Amino acid sequence: MTASAAPKAPVTPREQLLNRIQRDIPIVQRPYAQVAAEVGLSEAEALAILREVKAEGVLRQVSAIFDTRTLGYQSSLVAAVYDEDTLDAGAEIVNTHPGVSHNYKRNHDFNLWYTIAVPPESDLEAHVQKLHDLSGARLTRLMPTLHLFKIGVEFDMTGKEDWNAKSAPQYTSEQRNIGYAVTELDRAFVLEFQKDLPVTEEPYADACAALGLSIDEVAAHAQKMKAAGALRRVSAVFRHQKAGFTFNAMGVWAVPQDEVAVTGRKMAEFKAVSHCYLRPTYPEWPYTIFTMVHGRSKGEAFGKIKAIEEEVAPGIDHAILYSTKEYKKIRLEFYKPEFAEWARQYLGTEV
């Protein structure tokens, strides 16, 4: 297996556009005119392409991406063990929690993996323990982020990048601001910008009207939230499967503790890696660093993990966990009443 994704061919303006809008969409009155000019298209051409991929289901939404931790939410990846004959039913119970945004069956003894986030005043461990009890799990392990080396999903829509291509991570632990005091304007901004923004000439018009601010004032506040680490970016989010990335692989690595800082940073530089975290170990779980990649095939996804191994982690014990069933995948929505409703019903509290 080589480190090359495919034979090289010229990149089209359409492919450049689909790559470009995953990085960020500027907060200006007519952002698509600006983005289109960067890739050699007119505004009308760019909008026609984006409306087409939206209609096809490839483009899930255009919205802001916020940092849960900076907004005060507590979050964690959770790994759980279920008997095979109770797994589907257990996963459906986990899905009822409003803070569970991703939930997958994977090829491991830990056969259910989900992400959960709860509001600032909530007890994360209590929520996870209740899910453990309700869903009939045999073992549940919290795997929170101890250090964020990278987060940022960007699919190579050209199919022409090398599997070992590099770029600096857009968002890491250094941008996070734990303890940030969220303002009322921040909350209002989040409620408007977590919505699916329209693919129109002026996609921010409704948000500006709702906030009672001009586009320049909204842009200035967005920049403040970015500087604080609360807002990562406004960008397009694609559906993995519809975009052709039908396979994901979570490479987990037993990197020694005294090497995790250097190794994690090196792994995060791979463009193919969308997520790179340091997580806790347990007696039955020796892996410290998690790297997520996506591919158009199992061979491509495994090839990307192999490229990381050969360049950064030769000889390091590792495993590749891949999804065999998707139970839930949504965007987390902040400041929603469903959290309090779930807590009242299952925990007997408001949080």
Q: Write down the pLDDT at residue 177.
A: 78
Q: Write down the pLDDT at residue 166.
A: 83
Task: Give per-residue pLDDT as tens, 173-228.
Answer: 787 878 899 999 999 999 999 999 999 999 999 999 999 999 999 999 999 999 99
Cβ atoms within 10 Å, residue 159: 15
Flag whether 303 is in a domain. Answer: yes
Q: Write down the pLDDT at residue 303.
A: 95
Name the H helices within the chain. 13-23, 31-38, 43-55, 87-95, 124-135, 184-193, 205-211, 215-228, 260-268, 298-312, 338-346
217 lies in the same domain as 251: no
Give me the CATH number covering residue 246. Answer: 3.30.70.3460
216 lies in the same domain as 88: no
Q: Is the C-alpha dihedral spanning 129, 135, 139, 143 positive or negative?
A: negative
From 102, 132, 240, 294, active-site residue: 102
Our count of domains for the chain comes to 2
Q: Which amino acid is at 223?
A: Q
Residues, the chain, total? 351
CA distance 8 to 102: 34
Flag whether 174 is in a domain. Answer: no
74 lies in the same domain as 159: yes
Return the minimum-mean-pLDDT range out of 28-32, 103-107, 238-242, 281-285.
238-242
Give this prediction's pTM: 0.89
Flag whether 344 is in a domain. Answer: no
Q: Write down the pLDDT at residue 312.
A: 97
- Tell me whether residue 127 is one of the annotated catalytic residues: no
165 lies in the same domain as 289: yes
Task: Give per-residue pLDDT as tens, 289-343.
Answer: 999 999 999 999 999 999 999 999 999 999 999 999 999 999 999 999 999 999 9
- 285 neighbors 250 (Cβ within 8 angstroms): no
- Is the pLDDT assigned to residue 1 strictly greater than 70? no
Flag whether 249 is in a domain. Answer: yes
Return the minimum-mean-pLDDT range out of 141-145, 153-157, 271-275, 279-283.
153-157
Give me the CATH number covering residue 193. Answer: 1.10.10.2890
- 77 neighbors 117 (Cβ within 8 angstroms): no
Flag whether 336 is in a domain. Answer: no
- Is the pLDDT assigned to residue 5 strictly greater than 50? no
297: CB partners within 8 A, 6+ apart: 246, 247
40 lies in the same domain as 151: no
138 lies in the same domain as 248: yes
State the residue range of the domain holding 49.
13-56+181-228
Flag whether 152 is in a domain. Answer: yes
Instruction: Return left, alpha or beta for 212; rule: phi > 0 is left, psi -120 to 50 is alpha, else beta.
Output: left
307 lies in the same domain as 270: yes
Task: Give per-residue pLDDT as tens, 78-119.
Answer: 999 999 999 999 999 999 999 999 999 999 999 999 999 999
CA distance 321 to 111: 9
Going from the C-alpha of 285 to that of each of 132, 241, 273, the distances in angstroms are 18, 29, 22
Return the minimum-mean-pLDDT range out of 17-26, 33-42, 148-157, 261-270.
148-157
> Would you place residue 7 in the very low, low, confident or very high pLDDT band (cuts 50, 70, 90)?
low
22 lies in the same domain as 164: no
- Which residue is it, tokens 């492919």? 15
- Which residue is it, tokens 């001009």? 214
37 lies in the same domain as 164: no
149 alpha-carbon distance from chain centroid = 13
140 lies in the same domain as 257: yes
165 lies in the same domain as 185: no
- 230 neighbors 297 (Cβ within 8 angstroms): no
78 lies in the same domain as 48: no
Q: Write down the pLDDT at residue 139.
A: 98
Q: Is the C-alpha dihedral spanning 163, 167, 171, 175 positive or negative?
A: positive
Q: Write down the pLDDT at residue 168.
A: 84
Flag whether 203 is in a domain. Answer: yes
Structure tokens at 27: 């907060």
Task: Give per-residue pLDDT as tens, 241-275.
Answer: 777 878 889 999 999 999 999 999 999 999 999 99
67: CB partners within 8 A, 6+ apart: 171, 175, 176, 229, 230, 231, 232
- Is the pLDDT assigned to residue 124 strictly greater than 70? yes
Flag whether 342 is in a domain. Answer: no
- 64 neighbors 114 (Cβ within 8 angstroms): no
Structure tokens at 78: 């959770």
Task: Give per-residue pLDDT as tens, 42-74.
Answer: 999 999 999 999 999 999 999 999 999 999 999
CA distance 29 to 60: 22
- Which residue is it, tokens 């857009």? 170
